[in-house]
Amino acid sequence: MAVVLVGGLVLLIAGLAFAYSELKRPSDVNNESVPFKAEPPPKKAKPKAKTVNWPTFRLNNQRTGYLAAKKIKPPFKRVWSYGDQPLLEFPPAVVRDALYFVDNDGYAHALKTKNGHVIWERKIASLNASTPTYSDGVLYIVNLEPGQIIALKAKSGRQIWKKSLPCRSESSPVVVRKTVYFGCENSNLYALKAKTGREVWSTGVSGAIKGAPAYENGILFVGDYGGAMTAIHATNGRIKWQSQSLGPGLGQPGTFYSTPAVAYGRVYIGNNDGRVYSFDAETGEVAWTFSTGDYVYSGPTVAKVPGTPPTVYIGSFDRNVYALDARTGKARWTYDMGGRVIGSLSVINKLVYASTFDGTSTYGISAKTGQKKYFFHSGAYMPAVSDGEKLYLTGYSGINAMKPVTEKELKAARKAKAKKAAAKKKKQKQEKKKRAEKQKKQKKKQAQKAKQGKKKSQPASKNE
């Protein structure tokens, strides 16, 4: 009987240990065998235009969010601002001399980059949470309500075509070789003809697709709410590989809201299990994971800023911005934002731009040191884009165009300030001299009065 009881107890303990190991939060991964492809430095070329384009969400098809624009650095001066309502959750696309964006109430806008004046605006939906993608003079926009994708002439806002969807979508499109790709809440990734909106293929994944797909070398990468990261062939929609997230524990999958970024032969993405993931872009094998303290909605920005190693910059609901070594996942620095970081970051020149939802402020953080270098009083979700000439800050419900103050302007400002200070000092000196002269005259006058009064008070002589 005792043997049976002991055996049962051993089985119970073993069962509990197995259950604990299965249900506890999985440990982070560190797989050094996954290849890391160092990218050659970009070739230096003379700029053909005064500005550069930021034509889609996160700048490019790889969704890296990094623009090496040397001119864009503080101090800034605000040259124009636009709007105070409604909510503006996603940043604009910028192409040549125009910004294009859709507010949460479904109004599409085109503004002049020079002065913020309206080029056109039109109502296209009742609810939107995406950035337009510009390609060959056309804007491609997905909407939440009604669930649809619409193509507009960028120049005029005129509708070219519209396609109803069986679902809502906030997955900002990517356009490659005259095909539009985007995800939907019905767990499908779609490919449509850019010219007509005709469906080419659709591929089902493990759950609702919230983030935008990334693209590189013929492959689309997308995360979903079923916890899977999937690589899909762009030509035919065939799945190349699918990899599962670790999850928060208790046997639950982690959900991907974040938009992935592709660089260095890896796919980087945040997850609601509180982790940042690095997958092998070729096989889907997990290279590393990094645990933050809360959800990671933020899409990663991947950049090799001069003076730094290749780095993943990402925010978390735990109120921090992290700089992670892109190869190993080890933290280079952490910056406390003082509030939840919900949206994606941007790296422009040498600063990481991040916004906090609590306090609605924007910070510019040194990519090298993690120190604050800039602050702006507005921000909430995804703070900054640039055309290489101006910085466009997206606030809670408006856009502010910021122009860098040049060395020439700074010198002129310092000279003007010094001149003003000298003039003020000269004026103060003159006023002081006048006061002194006035006081001297007053004293002299008082002395004369006193003398006259003394004469009058003296007694008359006896001879009088």
User: What percent of the chain lies above the pLDDT cut of 90?
Assistant: 73
pLDDT at res. 119: 98
Confidence of residue 460 (pLDDT cuts 50, 70, 90): low
Say which residue, 398 or 250, is predicted with more confidence.
398
pLDDT at res. 48: 63
pLDDT at res. 423: 85
Mean pLDDT rounded to a whole number for the chain:
90
Domain count within the chain: 1
Q: Is residue 39 part of a domain?
A: no
Confidence of residue 418 (pLDDT cuts 50, 70, 90): confident
pLDDT > 60? residue 45 = no
Q: CATH no. for residue 382?
A: 2.130.10.10
Question: pLDDT per residue over 115-133, tens digit each?
Answer: 999 999 999 999 999 999 9
pLDDT > 70? residue 243 = yes
Confidence of residue 447 (pLDDT cuts 50, 70, 90): confident
pLDDT > 50? residue 393 = yes
pLDDT at res. 431: 85
pLDDT at res. 457: 63
pLDDT > 90? residue 275 = yes
pLDDT at res. 11: 55
Mean pLDDT of 249-266: 91
Q: Is residue 5 part of a domain?
A: no
Residue in 220, 217, 215 with CA at minimum distance from that of residue 205? 220
Kindly state the helix (H) or strand (E) to which residue 352 belongs, with its residue range: strand 351-356
pLDDT > 50? residue 17 = no
Residue owning tokens 């938009």: 259
Task: Return the minimum-mean-pLDDT range out of 20-29, 284-293, 352-361, 383-392.
Answer: 20-29
User: What percent of the chain lies above the pLDDT cut of 70?
Assistant: 90
Mean pLDDT of 424-445: 84
Q: What is the span of the domain harbouring residue 255?
A: 54-405
Q: Is residue 449 part of a domain?
A: no
pLDDT > 50? residue 454 = yes
Q: Is residue 252 part of a domain?
A: yes
Compute how many other C-beta atoms are within 10 angstroms of the C-beta atom of residue 225: 20
CA 45 – CA 265 distance, rounded (Å): 25
Mean pLDDT of 312-319: 98
Mean pLDDT of 214-218: 98
Question: pLDDT per residue over 154-199, tens digit each?
Answer: 999 999 999 999 999 999 999 999 999 999 999 999 999 999 999 9
pTM: 0.85
Compute how many other C-beta atoms are within 10 angstroms of the C-beta atom of residue 429: 10
Confidence of residue 2 (pLDDT cuts 50, 70, 90): low
Q: Is residue 430 part of a domain?
A: no
Q: Is residue 26 part of a domain?
A: no
Residue in 277, 276, 179 with CA at minimum distance from that of residue 220? 179
Q: Is residue 429 part of a domain?
A: no
Kindly state the helix (H) or strand (E) to which residue 436 belongs, with its residue range: helix 407-457
Q: Is residue 377 part of a domain?
A: yes
| Strand residue runs (E) in 106-227 | 107-112, 118-123, 133-135, 138-143, 148-153, 159-164, 174-176, 179-183, 188-193, 199-204, 214-216, 219-223
Residues 6+ positions from 80 with CB-CB distance below 8 Å: 115, 116, 400, 401
Residue in 295, 260, 266 with CA at minimum distance from that of residue 282? 266
pLDDT at res. 18: 45
pLDDT at res. 367: 98
On the 0-12 / 13-18 / 19+ scale of CB atoms within 10 A, 438 is exposed
Task: Return the minimum-mean-pLDDT range out of 221-225, 384-388, 415-419.
Answer: 415-419
Residue in 35, 54, 133 with CA at minimum distance from that of residue 346? 54
CA 237 – CA 394 distance, rounded (Å): 34
Confidence of residue 257 (pLDDT cuts 50, 70, 90): very high
CA 5 – CA 266 distance, rounded (Å): 53
